[in-house]
Every structure is written in C-alpha cells, then in structure tokens.
Amino acid sequence: MRLLPGVVTVLLIVGVAYYVYVPLPDAIQEPWKLMMVDAGFRTVMQLTSLQHWLGLDHCFKCICEATEGFGSMVKGLLTSVSGGGVMPGVKVSDLTFAGVPVRVYEPPAGGEGHLRRGLMYFHGGGWKFGSAKTGAYDSTSRTLSDELNAVVVSVEYRLYPEVHFPMPYLDCLAAAKHFLSREVLAKYAIDPERVAVSGDSAGGNLAAAVAQEISTDESMSEKFSVQALVYPVLQALDFNTPSYLQNENIPLLYRPVMVRFWLQYLGVDLSLQPQFLANNHSSLQHFTPELRARLDWTVLLSPKYRKNYKQLIVEKGLEGLSKEVPGLLDVRASPLLAEPEVLAKCPRAYIVTCEYDVLRDDGLMYARRLQDAGVSVTNDHYEDGFHGCFSFISWLEFDVGKRAVRGYINWLQNNL
C-alpha cells in the first residue's frame, strides 16, 4: 500500500508529459516552452468544445474572460516585479468609434504644429478569442504609440458566438471609417498621409479586407497609406496548401483548429469539418478557373515553399454549399480572392510570415498577388517562426517573437 502514492505520482507525471509533448522541428527554439503554451491553449479549446457539445454556448464568454483575466493577472504581477511594460507618457482611453468599442493610445504631446502617425489595429484570435485590452496586444500598442509617435486605435470587434461573418468585418470597417474622418484625424493631430491599418492572424484578415474596401471607396477622402499584416488568414477554399499540410500538427494553430475557426466565423455546421479538410467544399463544379487562379499556389508560391506537395482539386464535392454559405466566395471574408483591379488600389504592404504556420502560404500568395498588381510589398519571413509568436514578447517571451515585433516596428518607422 505504501507504494500506491508513488505509483500514482509517476502515472500523473507520465500522463502530463504525454499530454504536453508535441514533436517539433529542430529549427523551433525553446521547444518545451512552446509545448507548455500549446498545452494550455489546447485545454482552453477542449473546454470550449465541451461546452458547445453540452449546449452551454452561453458559458463561452465566461471562459474567455476567465482565461484573459488570468493572463492579465500574471502579466501584471510579473510587470510589477520587473518594473517594465509601462509607457508613462502614453495616454490610454476606452472609447467608441461609430458605436464600436476601441482602446486609444496617444503618445506624449509633441511640439506645436507637429502631426503624428496613426495606426488602427485588429487583434487575432480566430474571430473568437482575444481583446485589445489584454496581454501582448496592450503592451505592443503602448510601445507602438511611444516609439512611432503614433495614435494607435485597437478595435474590440464582436466575436463568436455572439456574431458571425460579416459582423466582425463591419465593426472594423465602421471604426476605420470613423478613424479616417477629417474631424477625428484633426482631433488627434494625425497626418492624413501617415495612417496604417494592421492586424495579426484573423485580425490580419480583417485588416486586409478593410484596406481593400477603403482603397476602392470613392466617397472616402482619406485612406490608409500602408497595411501591415502579421501571418494573416486570407482564404477558406484550400486547406491543403503546402503550409497547411506541412504544419498541420505544429503548435499553436493546428490545421483542424483553423478550419473550425472558419466554420464558426462563416456560420457553417461544425459536422462538415471533415469535408472542408478534404477540400470537398471547393470542387471544380462550383468555381471558375479565373477564381481558382487567385489562390493557385502552384503558380503563386516559389519552389522553396511548394516542395513536393501536390494540389488537391476535387471535381465534384458538396452540392450547393457556395449558395448556402455565400461567405466562402466573399472577398470581405477571403481577401486573397479580390480582383487584380482591387489589389492595384491597395496601399503598400508589409506581410509577416512564419515557416511553421499553416497560414504561411496565405500570406505568401497575397504578397505575390499584390506585387503582380503593382503594389510595393515587403515580406519578412521567419524560418524559425510559428503561429502566434508575435504575441510572446512580454511576460512569456520567445526570441523569434521579439525579433518579429522589432522588425514590424522598424518597418513602420521607415515606411509610415
């Protein structure tokens, strides 16, 4: 009987190690740290899946708030110990722009007559998680405001399950139009020629879509001068690109998880996930060759990224899905599908991509299509990067995350 506690302890240790361990490529630095972060993320995802299965979707917000609150608490404790993370000259205000909640970061007042930069940011999180007010988003916004002498507006667009597409996009568009109005730019002493739109992951999707709409809206007198997209998600028709297949089991964004985010965003029955993973939702019978060419990775990707992967095109798949889910072909949901004439009007772009990210090829294809349309594009690709690394720069940091954020800030410093 004395052996029982020891046996239980060993079994617990083995069980935890089995749950935490994920095989990772040698190029990824600090692998055990990433495994621990991933284990926490998977736990949250499994809890939310359980509550959905139990029909307790009303509890989802509570879980999100609890996890975000825990992260903020830990960050706050560590910040108070280190004394870092606070920009004393930056003023922070929680306001609404066109009825949409935003957090505004204002740098210290400059000399009279000096105009400042402006930047609107949309956070990531699969249109389901995240907040401008917590974690790295708040920290990075403060740093951007201070270092760039910029007014940063971080948008709290509505999330799943409260809303589906196109509501998050419409929230972001409304806030962007308000921000770009002459009255607001003048109020914050922002140079109309130096205003950026930016976002990461799902936020990069929203930033690209909003940039396209603003660029082609003749009623807008002021427009964004640059777009800065961090590992953006840009299409929902091909979940078998080389990066989706190469990185399907790499943290922090697994291939099935990204597909699930898309289904939730577009309001599709989650039981169809296997069909989407097999590209049965995007068969030849539904889409013209012209449309398919806009995400043809066999042409848009260099051999370095195509490798030996084969394109998966299904001749006959799900019937009538494109009519039931119009968001599949809506460029506001999938900016990669935009026509060349639209892309040609977009502002110059900065696109961050990571080698170990299912969304790598989305970003690379968009960079190529923008360049083909005549838009100036800078692509910073991180060979040791993984999805989400941009957010690990403060209390839980990765070297690649710090490098990615520094490269992003430096590009804005030189181009905005």
CB 121 within 8 A of CB 156: no
Quote the pLDDT of residue 14.
47
Does 104 score more than 90 pLDDT? yes
CA dihedral of 131, 136, 138, 142, whole degrees rounded to 10: -160
Does 181 score more than 80 pLDDT? yes
CATH architecture of residue range(s) 89-236+323-415: 3-Layer(aba) Sandwich (3.40)
- Three-state DSSP at 153 gives strand
Quote the pLDDT of residue 23.
83
d(CA 280, CA 277): 8
pLDDT band, residue 49 (cuts 50/70/90): low
d(CA 204, CA 123): 8
Read off the pLDDT of each residue in 58-66 and give the average, rounded to a whole number: 48
- Amino acid identity of residue 120, one-letter, is M
Does 148 score more than 60 pLDDT? yes
Does 74 score more than 70 pLDDT? no
Q: Are strands 348-356 and 116-122 parallel, antiparallel or unpaired?
A: unpaired
Quote the pLDDT of residue 44.
72
d(CA 41, CA 16): 15
Least confident among 88-92, 118-122, 230-234, 348-352: 88-92
pLDDT band, residue 42 (cuts 50/70/90): confident
pLDDT band, residue 317 (cuts 50/70/90): confident
pLDDT band, residue 284 (cuts 50/70/90): confident
d(CA 354, CA 36): 20
Quote the pLDDT of residue 70.
38
Q: Per DSSP, what are the bridge partners of residue 105?
A: 92, 152
Give the angle 104-335-131 at the CA atoms, nearest 5°. Answer: 30
pLDDT band, residue 1 (cuts 50/70/90): low
Helix axes 135-148, 60-82, angle to 10 degrees: 50
- Amino acid identity of residue 366, one-letter, is Y
Does 13 score more than 60 pLDDT? no
Residues of the chain above pLDDT 90, percent: 70
Does 132 score more than 80 pLDDT? yes
Does 19 score more than 90 pLDDT? no
> What's the mean per-residue pLDDT of the chain?
87
324 vs 50, higher pLDDT: 324
Residues with active-site annotation: 201, 357, 387
Helices (H) and strands (E) in the chain, counts: 17, 8
Those residues whose C-beta lies under 8 Å from the C-beta of residue 23, and which sit 6 or more positions away, are 249
Nearest of 232, 251, 246 to residue 40 by alpha carbon: 251
d(CA 184, CA 357): 37
What is the model's pTM? Answer: 0.90
Q: Are strands 91-97 and 100-106 parallel, antiparallel or unpaired?
A: antiparallel
CB 257 within 8 A of CB 125: no
Least confident among 35-49, 74-88, 393-407: 74-88
DSSP states of 202-249: HHHHHHHHHHHHHHH-TT-SS--SEEEEES----SS-S-SHHHHHTTT
Does 83 score more than 70 pLDDT? no
d(CA 256, CA 247): 11
Does 89 score more than 70 pLDDT? yes
Quote the pLDDT of residue 124.
97
